[in-house]
Amino acid sequence: MKNNKILLAAYKLLPITICLSSANMALAEEKLDEIQVQGEVDTTRQTQTAVIHKNAETIQKELIRDTRDLVRYTTDVGISDNGRFLKGFSIRGVEGNRVGISVDGVNLPDSEENSLYSRYGNFNSSRLSIDSELVRDIDIIRGSDALNSGSGALGGSVNYRTAEAQDIVKPNNKFGALLRGGYASKNSEWVRTIGVGYVGDKVDAILMYSQRTGHELKSRGDGPYFYTTKSQHPDPVTSRFHSYLAKLGYQLTPHHKIGVGINGQQGSRYVDERSYTSFGSAWREADDQSKRINVNAYYLYTPDSKYLAFSKFDVDYQKTDLAAVNYKGLRHWRTNEKQLGEVFDRRMKTEFKRASAELESMPFNWGGEHVLSFKTYASERVFRNINHDTNEYGLDEWYTIQRPVKTKMYGASLKDQITWRPHFESGWKPIFSANIGTRYDYAKLSPKGLNAPCSKACLAEGEPAQSSFSNWSGFLGLDIQTTDTWKFGYQLSTGYRIPTATELYFSFTNAYGTWKSNPGLKSERSVNHTLFAKAQNEKGMLDINLYQTRYRNFLFEQESIIEQTQYGRTYQTPMQQMVNVDNARVTGIEVKGNLNLDTVLPAPKGLKLYGALGYSKGKLSNSTNLLSIQPLKAVLGLDYEDPDGKWGIFSRLTYLGGKKAKDAKTLEINKRCLVWTYDPWFGRDICSKEELYQSVDNYKYLNKSA
């Protein structure tokens, strides 16, 4: 088999989608009208690096039905996925909690995971998301984005904006309806969506519901083994997700508007974990459950003023419940039927409240045209863990593995969008623009009283200390439009991530291992530099980006050997603790463009050639590599869109470069004996004292090109 393969995206990986519509019910058009008051969105995009914007038309064209589809044709963005748990996105060499995810400006909670319990798979460490059926547009920001997204946008962020009534109701109509169905062959998934909308003189409203049912991703792997760690097939999965969205807006006067919105999701992903079992008669099934609800109320003021463009006040509430319910047991020796032995219900819950305000000025001249915007907020998030274990012998125990933690945050940001249009005697009329912004955030994490009993192992350290973090962030963007075709620019941005409650406070003391808390951790930090050149005219578009991102204070779980004395015996045991140790650097290039073939060849109008190429490389300060980097990715496409916009054909070929061993260096922890002692019981020397040492080795599993 050749190492290099080019896979047609439409074959299995590309979902087959069937769309059902009701024409006279004023179904939503693919090219959606913009919301009338959306100036703050444009301002935000001006202060973000390398933004990929996907509107409703692109979502339909690329058949984006889930997180994997969203990044399928993006050269330097991937997903963080270990099979059972989808942990978000991978951008600029970092993944998981180092890439922010937000819905309508509200960040989704970080994944809370520790190495003690993650090895057993009893906790759900997935990142929450939103169904793309309820989304009007998505921004993928590649590069540090703390100015707009706050904590978590270390390597970038993904921001979803939910649908509005205008997305369903056609212009000049008051009522509209949406009925859509889809099928994806890659995981036998069905999607069913219904929505209604109303746009009146003073009232606008939207109501949407989507249901998604499916199974495990299909694999080209084959072989005779279906059970234990030798399994050569995906574990069977049955999933069902319910998503909903409701919004109501009321125009009190021409300058005053109030509104309320709610969106949420409840889902279950039931896995028969055949590959987890260690022997033939054992079985385990896991029900990975998720529940999220977001509520927003706002007041919008758009005065007839030459100073203030608008002011907006928001109150947000979010509640999440992420759980793994694990069913375990043995099979009957005669009938082979499953017999339930125990049920482990493990839940991570969060509750979030925020009040925020935003002001934006009208354009004014002061050595150029300026638009100022100011934002401020105060928020509170509470994280807690609760577990419920039962078994066939009467066990019925409620407990927790760590204390609840309350995080209070407040902050403010100021941005200035500057435009200068000089006229030179030679007739050259360039456009200079600058986007400058700064932001301050303060966070205080306070451990609270136990919400349930906790074992002695997790209480050994006593009352944990509070932790606080102060972070300044900034953005600088300098652009010049030299001609009607060419634009050049430079962008500098910063990012940060404060440690999670688990990274700061989780502790566990046992003879077989110790996990020590570290309330003194620092925030992870990043600085991103981007140089770009863009060209766009009637022949097409060309976009070239060169970037470098530097990270410092990377959090790493450090393992060492300590000595403990219990019951008159001294012994060695491993100790784990989160520490700030590593720095990292990622550099890369991205080139993408499209060509209108009718402008250079005798081809029909609407025929376009698309291409994108991305390459990146990175390394940690300890000579290891960032394994989440995709070294090379290329996308090639040929599209045709009817000039009247009635129909079109969209095709893509994707190539993924394989990772070389020299780009996959990782840190391994090994043991060696320091002291050998003769043991008369065994009649030979045994090791009485060990130490751990680190070595840099090639990662065992390298992805091949595809």
595 has pLDDT over 50? yes
Question: Is position 1 within any domain?
Answer: no
- Poorest-pLDDT segment among 156-160, 387-391, 666-670: 666-670
Nearest in space to 37 (alpha carbons), one of 156, 164, 214: 164
Residue 340 CA to residue 327 CA, distance in Å, equals 7
In the chain, how many H helices and how many E strands?
Answer: 7, 35
Residue 98 CA to residue 694 CA, distance in Å, equals 25
Half-sphere exposure (CA, 13 Å, Cβ side) for 640?
8
pLDDT more than 90, % of the chain: 61
> What is the average per-residue pLDDT within 611-617?
93
Question: Is position 513 within any domain?
Answer: yes
Give residue 114's pLDDT.
83
pLDDT for 505-525, tens place per residue? Answer: 999 887 677 899 999 999 999
pLDDT for 575-591, tens place per residue? Answer: 889 999 888 999 999 99
Give residue 702's pLDDT.
65
Instruction: Share the mean pLDDT of the chain.
Output: 87
35 has pLDDT over 80? no
Structural domain of 194:
7-698
Question: Is position 379 within any domain?
Answer: yes
pLDDT tier at 13, thresholds 50, 70, 90: very low
Question: Is position 703 within any domain?
Answer: no
- Poorest-pLDDT segment among 126-140, 141-155, 203-217, 552-566: 552-566
Residue type, 424: F
Please state, in angstroms and as integers, the Cα–Cα distance from residue 204 to each residue in 63, 134, 262, 263, 312, following that order.
Answer: 28, 17, 14, 16, 18
Give residue 654's pLDDT.
92
Residues 6 or more apart whose CB falls under 8 angstroms from that of 162 comprise 103, 104, 130, 134, 135, 136, 245, 247, 261, 263
153 has pLDDT over 70? yes
Residue 41 CA to residue 53 CA, distance in Å, equals 12
pLDDT for 110-132, tens place per residue? Answer: 999 888 888 788 888 899 999 99
Give residue 37's pLDDT.
41
Residues 6 or more apart whose CB falls under 8 angstroms from that of 250 comprise 202, 203, 257, 258, 259
Residue 324 CA to residue 319 CA, distance in Å, equals 17
Count of C-beta atoms within a 10 Å radius of residue 403:
23
Higher-confidence residue: 232 or 369? 369
- Full 3-state SS string of 456-473: HHHHCCCCCCCEEEEEEE
pLDDT for 672-683, tens place per residue? Answer: 888 898 888 888
> What are the tokens at 171?
């212009």
Residue 86 CA to residue 97 CA, distance in Å, equals 12
Give residue 102's pLDDT.
96
Give residue 14's pLDDT.
37
pLDDT tier at 23, thresholds 50, 70, 90: very low
9 has pLDDT over 70? no
> What are the tokens at 433?
């623009």
> What are the tokens at 160?
């979803």
pLDDT for 156-215, tens place per residue? Answer: 999 999 999 999 999 999 999 999 999 999 889 999 999 999 999 999 999 999 999 999
455 has pLDDT over 80? yes
Give residue 7's pLDDT.
36
First-to-last CA distance in the chain? 11
> What are the tokens at 368?
């150029």
Total structural domains in the chain?
A: 1
> What is the average per-residue pLDDT within 390-394?
94
Query: Residues 99, 105, 106, 108: is their CA dihedral positive or negative?
Result: negative
Reported pTM: 0.88
137 has pLDDT over 80? yes
Question: Is position 704 within any domain?
Answer: no
Residue 525 CA to residue 441 CA, distance in Å, equals 13
Question: Is position 360 within any domain?
Answer: yes
Please state, in angstroms and as integers, the Cα–Cα distance from residue 140 to each residue in 4, 71, 77, 318, 641, following that order.
Answer: 29, 9, 9, 22, 25
Question: Is position 706 within any domain?
Answer: no
pLDDT for 89-100, tens place per residue? Answer: 999 889 889 999
Residues 6 or more apart whose CB falls under 8 angstroms from that of 667 comprise 622, 624, 694, 695, 696
Residue 478 CA to residue 492 CA, distance in Å, equals 9
pLDDT tier at 220, thresholds 50, 70, 90: confident
CATH number at residue 145: 2.40.170.20
Question: Is position 400 within any domain?
Answer: yes
Please state, in angstroms and as integers, the Cα–Cα distance from residue 528 to each residue in 73, 92, 488, 524, following that order.
Answer: 23, 10, 17, 14
18 has pLDDT over 60? no
- Poorest-pLDDT segment among 267-276, 310-319, 381-390, 559-568: 559-568
